[in-house]
Amino acid sequence: MADRDRAGGSLVDRLAGEMRQRIASRGLVPGAKLPSIRALAESGGVSKSTAVEVYDRLVAEGVIQSRRGSGFYVAGHTPPLSVADVGPRLDRAIDPFWVSRQSLEAGDDVLKPGCGWLPPSWLPEDGLRRSLRTLARANGNALVDYGTPLGLPALRQLLARRMAERGIEASPDQILITESGTQAIDLLCRMLIEPDDVVLVDDPCYFNFHALLRAHRARIIGIPFTPNGPDMDAFAAALEAHRPRLYVTNSGIHNPTGATLSHATAHRLLKLAEAHDLTIIEDDIFADFEEDPAPRLGALDGLDRVIQIGSFSKALSASVRCGYVAIRHDWMERLVDLRIATSFGAPRLSAELVVRTLQDGSYRKHVAALRERLARARLRTAQHLDEIGISRWIEPRAGMFLWCSLPDGVDAAELARAALADGVLLAPGNVFSLTQSAGRFLRMNVAQCGDPRIFRVLSDRVARA
């Protein structure tokens, strides 16, 4: 008879389950050698015969393979994983990929207040159509040849000017054009961190930071987030306790809360970063949504230990893939080499389109109108939510997100599952929370809240919970 643990489950079940999970989450990859029977028995605190049973079962399932005289290995052809099997999973609905995949895959019949971008009709289609026509008449090299390693000079110059308007001094040769904001962070992680390095994020934060940092095998530590930025006492304690290499944040209009950094927090944060030699990636992807810019770490620090990234997916187009990094000059060479190694050329045609669209006089008008439209949508959405008894954590100064607190007894993940059955995609709070401490929160995208059915479904589901 197999050992049993205190919870009454079979130890074989538990150990086999843990190993399946490590394989599913890539903690162990196809072909990796597994611990010996003896080592498994010791680390699991079980008898050798129990360890043998665990491996026998996983061999029978095809998850691992036994190689004669050599030991046990993760099977080469690992069985397919469902999305929910990837990464730590405290609750099926709150997997970081859940909202991404649902948002990208949902048909046009699904309402998407949980998604992280604007509806297509809010974006400057006409400007893009004009840019495409202009580009069709451009010099042939722009259409067919690789660009320069840093990316299109005209776009880098334009970005340098835009950053200067926000108090960030970056010369064009401190700017690298990337395929997206996400790729920008990914490249930086490749340059800056090693497996098992500690990285700080906000709790809550943009959920894809978790997925991205896990792909780099970082150890992620969440810092509680306040309406003024990260909790500075917790931040200081984490620096002491974990010696992190990196802090990744979007300080501008924080995702998911919509909060902005206070000057005091920004200043204290940079002092701590300096004392602990911490590098900071400041994701400024929502910069265009802000009328009066809140403090930016990159501006205060002069891009010394802060690296800014951004993209054009949010205010211009998500179809045109283009992002950027602004970084201290002496770190650029290595970044360029890494980019060539891992994706070769800069996205030239996308950059040509972006620079034409940004230079078009209509873009500033579009952005100004967008800010007002978002302000109205925030107000209107807040009123609807008030009626259902859903309150806001803060009233954001800008942006598309409201971080909403559900009435007592309503669990956001359960609500999201139920609402999806009604054709409404929500973003439950724990998707954004490393510590799973946001189970009563929802991130609402006000630009996607125009359809009154959303509030009928919410009201109905909240009442039933």
- 333 contacts: CB under 8 Å, gap ≥ 6: none
Report in angstroms how near the CB of residue 314 gets to a second copy at its nearest: 11
Which of 4, 101, 364, 453 is in the footprint of a second copy by CB under 8 A?
101
Residue position matching structure tokens 């000057």: 263
Stretch that binds a second copy, among 14-22, 185-193, 377-385, 411-419 (CB under 8 A): 185-193
- Which member of 146, 233, 264, 387 binds a second copy (CB under 8 A)? 146
Query: Which of 12, 63, 193, 239 is close enough to bind a second copy by CB under 8 A?
Result: 193
Distance CA 53, CA 140 (A): 65
Q: Which stretch binds a second copy (CB under 8 A): 137-145, 231-239, 393-401, 446-454?
A: 137-145
Q: Which two tokens stand for residue 378?
A: 């925030």
> Can residue 60 be called a binding residue for a second copy (CB under 8 A)?
no
Of 122-130, 286-294, 406-414, 444-452, the segment contacting a second copy by CB under 8 A is: 122-130
Closer of 199 and 462 to a second copy (Cβ): 199
Instruction: Determine the Cα–Cα distance for residues 458 and 78; give it in Å rounded to an integer.
Output: 40
Is residue 125 at the binding interface for a second copy, with CB under 8 A as the rule?
Answer: yes
Query: What are the residue ranges of helices labelled H in 45-109?
Result: 48-61, 96-105
How far CA 27 is from CA of 17, 59, 281, 337, in Å, comes to 13, 18, 26, 28
Q: How many helices (H) and strands (E) does the chain have?
A: 17, 14
* The binder of a second copy chosen from 53, 91, 197, 301 (CB under 8 A): 197
> Binding marks (x or -) toward a second copy, 239..258, rule CB under 8 A?
----x-x-------------
Stretch that binds a second copy, among 286-294, 311-319, 386-394, 455-463 (CB under 8 A): 311-319
CA atoms within 13 A on the CB side of 359: 14
CA triple 363-364-366, angle to 5 deg: 60
Q: Which of 15, 379, 169 is nearest to 5 (CA)?
A: 15
Q: Give yes or no for residue 68 binding a second copy (CB under 8 A).
A: no
Q: Which tokens in the block code for residue 84?
A: 């929910």
The reply to whether 104 sits near a second copy by the rule CB under 8 A is yes
Find the helix or strand (DSSP H, E) in which 333 lies.
helix 332-343
- Quick one: which segment of 186-194, 374-382, 407-415, 419-427 binds a second copy (CB under 8 A)? 186-194
Task: Between 188 and 266, name the residue whose CB sits nearer to a second copy.
Answer: 188
Site for a second copy in 5-34 (CB under 8 A): 26, 29-32
Question: How many residues interact with a second copy (rule CB under 8 A)?
Answer: 96
Supply 245's token pair.
């290499």
Phi, psi of 236 (to 5 degrees): -65, -40
**What is the C-alpha separation between 109 and 138, in angstroms, rounded?**
39
Cα–Cα distance between 210 and 89 in angstroms, integer? 12
Contacts of 274 (CB under 8 A, 6+ apart): 305
Considering the rule CB under 8 A, would residue 374 count as an interface residue with a second copy?
Answer: no
Whole-number minimum distance, CB 87 to a second copy, in Å?
9
Cα dist from 223 to 202, 230, 239, whole Å: 5, 6, 11
Considering only 8, 68, 121, 240, the residue that binds a second copy (CB under 8 A) is 121
List 35, 88, 149, 450, residue binding a second copy (CB under 8 A)? 149
Toward a second copy, which CB reaches closer, 49 or 319?
A: 319
Instruction: Decide: is 180 part of the binding site for a second copy (CB under 8 A).
Output: yes
Q: Of residues 86, 236, 394, 418, which one binds a second copy by CB under 8 A?
A: 86
Which among 13-21, 252-260, 314-322, 370-378 is the span making contact with a second copy, rule CB under 8 A? 314-322
List 68, 144, 292, 464, residue binding a second copy (CB under 8 A): 144
Q: Which of 15, 74, 17, 6 is nearest to 50 (CA)?
A: 15
Least CB distance from residue 128 to a second copy, whole Å? 5
Give the residue carrying structure tokens 């991130």: 443
Q: Where are the alpha helices (DSSP H) in 25-76?
A: 37-44, 48-61
Which span sits near a second copy by CB under 8 A: 167-175, 348-356, 393-401, 405-413? 348-356
